[in-house]
Amino acid sequence: MSALTTNKSVLSWIDEKVELVKPDKIVWIDGSKEQIEELRATACSTGELIKLNQELLPDCYLHRTAVNDVARVEGRTFICASTKEEAGPTNNWMDPNEAYEMLYDIARDSYKGRTMYVIPYSMGPVGSPFAKVGIELTDSIYVVLNMVIMTRVGKDVLEVLGDSNDWVRGLHCRCDIDEEKRYICQFPQDNTIISVNSGYGGNVLLGKKCFALRIASYQGWKEGWQAEHMLILGIENPRGEVKYICAAFPSACGKTNLAMLIPPESYKKKGYKVWCVGDDISWIRKGPDGRLYAINPENGFFGVAPGTNEKSNPNALASTKKGTIFTNVAHNLDNNTVWWEGLDKNPPANAVEWKGNPWNGQESEEKGAHPNSRFTAPAVNCPCLSSEFENPNGVPISAIVFGGRRAKLAPLVYQSRDWNHGVFVGSIMASETTAAAAGAVGVVRRDPMAMLPFCGYNMADYWQHWIDIGADLDPEKAPKIFNVNWFRKDDEGNFMWPGFGDNLRVLEWIIDRCEGKVDAKSTEIGFIPYAEDINIEGLEGEVSLESLNSILEVEKELWQEDAKGIEEFYAKFGDKIPPVLAAELETLKKNVQ
């Protein structure tokens, strides 16, 4: 098949990689329906995909990864900047020359007997001033079909690229899915990503975390913009005005849920609506009017399946009803559909679990779906997709919200005193780990701006970049910065806030604060709502003014303890800590004394 471009930098890079991995055949992905159908058929013939019930789930497929390959591997993810200091204390670092040599040894000849797929893709609407081009080489049809959903793929991307050398190189080699030789390496200074020995989403869909966060965060630092692990949603009030919020929560901490939330009954009646622009990644830059604008660089949702149901997230569920790839969920053999924990109370008896073994969901103690099983669904399927989704200039941001999973300490919501204090609030985020990454679950760790696994350079430089972005904004136009916690628990371990759709009650307060419509209590840690200002109409029996007050409380002893943790965390960065943040920490310590 002939190349789809004459771009010399593209062709010579591909030639080099062909020489290295030695494919039997090269296929350029043009994004056409016919080609996608052909690839689906090939993948079904080899068992890589299972075609699901086409009446109930048209164009939907099931895939199982290797049992040892079900989540991102943070311990095997490297930032290969020229010096260790550039990667910083929170990233794994490898010398780029050593990394290339090691990776090339692993990749050498690994496509023998296989096909090389060349995927030209755009992160962001094709041709948008925010958008950036990538090319991923892969030997996995699963990767091709996921990239076709998650990004904009095809010839028009190469047309926009023209002769430019400004594109991100991505090489993915499945090899033998050997855990011991699995590496996810980013070379920010070379616009290059190499991923070997994995077939799991976050490790191999190179447009997503590797490019749109790790490489793009570095590009944003150099070019004056930001790549963030943030959802984008629009809240439409009864007068038809829409305000946009970006929110950063760590992996599997509720971005997809918040981005697509269904307003509580009383809000619906009044005419409130919520529109989803993105559920995972935001690219943010200043617009001509001096405000910050955000786009979602992706074109689909790679969402957590378990817990997604008609009640928790009907919009996400609806998004999975056509053109979706399910990964590591249970296969219901009676009707050739899929099931996962938390879909409904009726697990299939005649099924296959995520590892591929027969499974009786009515009797088995084992899980049917892996806790990090996912759906890859086209954004266009989403019933509440924003009309601004394709807007090449993005949407203006009124508020930035940070949040994590914390059983104690962090109140339901608080507002920072100003931009720099807001950067501090983001920098001290901590959250319980989840199944989205390999390793222990439920351990509290610092995860600044939800970017711990995704920042492509020294986190201290990243914080300074945040401070510089704010300094360049007119404070009147800068988004206000907040922190939320939907996960506070009582002494019996029950969640104290109903969450999900009811989170709109907190977002309403946030928007009111942005518009100067509501007062707040100035506390040691920032502005906290007066309980009466959070609308709890319709939550009788679930939330009272009293319980609300208790999740809005600032518990000084816990904060004193936390300040010590922050100090230890900051110490890792030595004298690279921005003075602004060091001063904010001193203020916090003094305030909670």
Residues tagged active-site: 253
How far is residue 531 CA from its own chain's centroid? 31
Residue 183 partner contact from Mn ion, ligand SPV, ligand GTP, none using kind-dependent CB cut-offs of 5 to 8 Å: none
User: How many Cβ atoms are within 10 Å of 547's Cβ, its own excluded?
Assistant: 17
Q: Can you tell me which of 86, 280, 502, 584 binds Mn ion, judged by CB under 5 A?
A: 280
Neighbour tally for 223: CB within 10 Å: 10
**480 vs 505 by CB, closer to ligand GTP:** 505
Q: Which is nearer to ligand SPV, 354 or 559 (CB)?
A: 354
Binding segment for ligand SPV (CB under 6 A), chosen from 74-82, 101-109, 202-210, 535-543, is: 202-210
User: Does the footprint of ligand GTP cover residue 255 (CB under 6 A)?
Assistant: yes
> Which DSSP letter does residue 301 get?
E
Contact status: 326 vs ligand SPV (CB under 6 A): no
Minimum separation from the CB atom of position 516 to ligand GTP (A): 27
**Nearest to ligand SPV of 130, 302 (CB atom):** 302
The residues, any chain, with a CB within 8 Å of residue 577's CB and separated by 6 or more, are 460, 463, 570
β-strand pairing of 395-403 with 242-248: parallel
**Which of 436, 438, 478, 577 is in the footprint of ligand GTP by CB under 6 A?**
436
Report 288-327 residues binding ligand GTP (CB under 6 A): 303-304, 307
Q: Does 420 bind ligand GTP (CB under 6 A)?
A: no
Judged by DSSP in three states, 303 sits in strand
**Two tokens, residue 272:** 């409130």
CA 209/CA 338 separation, integer angstroms: 26
Look up tokens 């981005």; give the residue.
259
The distance of Cα 430 from the centroid of its chain, to the nearest Å, equals 17
User: According to the binding rule CB under 6 A, does residue 201 interact with ligand SPV?
Assistant: yes
Which of 28, 93, 183, 302 binds ligand SPV (CB under 6 A)? It is: 302
3-state helix, strand, coil in the chain (%, to 5): 35, 25, 45
**Contact between 306 and ligand SPV (CB under 6 A)?**
no
Alpha helices of 494-577 — where are they, by DSSP H? 504-514, 545-551, 556-571
Residue 279 engages Mn ion in binding (rule: CB under 5 A): no
Question: Considering the complex, what minimum distance in angstroms separates the CB of residue 249 from ligand GTP?
Answer: 5
- Residues making up the chain, counted from first to last: 593
Residue 74 within binding range of ligand SPV, rule CB under 6 A: no
- The item of ligand SPV, ligand GTP, Mn ion, none sharing an interface with residue 495, based on CB under 5 to 8 Å by kind, is ligand GTP
User: Which residues on neighbouring strands pair with residue 455, listed in sequence order?
Assistant: none
Of 499, 523, 556, 572, which lies in the binding site for ligand GTP, with binding defined by CB under 6 A?
499
Of 255, 331, 310, the C-alpha closest to 340 is 331
Residue 29 is a binding residue for ligand GTP (CB under 6 A): no
Closest distance between ligand GTP and the C-beta of residue 173, in Å?
24
Q: Convert residues 196-235 into a mask of x (bound to Mn ion by CB under 5 A) and - (unbound).
A: ----------------------------------------
CA dihedral 183, 166, 188, 470 (to 10 degrees): -130
Say whether residue 436 binds ligand SPV (CB under 6 A). yes
Q: Which does 279 bind (CB under 5 to 8 A by kind): ligand GTP, Mn ion, ligand SPV, none?
A: ligand GTP
**Alpha carbon distance 318, 320 (integer Å):** 5
* Using rule CB under 6 A, residue 458 touches ligand GTP: no
Dihedral pair phi/psi, residue 123, rounded to 5°: -95, 115
How many whole angstroms separate alpha carbon 467 and alpha carbon 473? 10
Q: Cα(323)–Cα(78) distance, rounded to whole angstroms?
A: 33
Beta bridge partners of 283: 227, 295
Please identify, using beta-carbon distances, which residue of 150 and 496 lies nearer to ligand SPV. Answer: 150
Residue 448 in the binding site for ligand SPV (CB under 6 A) = no
* In the complex, residue closest to Mn ion by CB: 280
Q: Which residues within the stretch 233-262 sit at the binding site for Mn ion (CB under 5 A)?
A: 251
Q: Choose the contact partner of 276 out of ligand SPV, Mn ion, ligand GTP, none; CB within 5 to 8 A by kind.
A: none
Q: CB-wise, 182 or 209, nearer to ligand SPV?
A: 209
Name the segment binding ligand GTP (CB under 6 A); options: 48-56, 114-122, 247-255, 568-576.
247-255
CB count within 10 Å of CB 491 equals: 5
How would you write 144-205 as a 3-class SS string? HHHHHHHCEECHHHHHHHCCCCCEEEEEEECCCCCHHHCEEEEEHHHCEEEEECCCCHHHHC
Q: Please name the amino acid found at residue 320.
A: T
Pick 17 or 229: Cβ nearer ligand SPV? 229
Give the binding range for ligand SPV (CB under 6 A) out of 131-139, 180-188, 200-208, 508-516: 200-208
Which entry of ligand SPV, ligand GTP, Mn ion, none binds 202, CB below 5 to 8 A by partner kind?
ligand SPV
- Which residue in the set 251, 313, 327, 415 belongs to the binding site for ligand SPV (CB under 6 A)? 251
How many residues make contact with Mn ion (CB under 5 A)?
Answer: 2
207 lies in the site for ligand SPV, by CB under 6 A: no
Write the DSSP symbol of residue 386.
-
Residue choice 257, 315, 332, 458 for contact with ligand GTP (CB under 6 A): 257
Q: At residue 285, what is the residue type?
A: R
* 254 scored as a contact of ligand SPV (CB under 6 A): no
d(CA 60, CA 333): 15
Determine whether 334 is exposed, middle or buried from the number of CB atoms within 10 Å of its CB (0-12, 13-18, 19+).
exposed
Closest distance of CB 209 from Mn ion, Å: 7
Q: Which residues form the interface with ligand SPV (CB under 6 A)?
A: 72, 201-202, 208-209, 251, 280, 302, 436
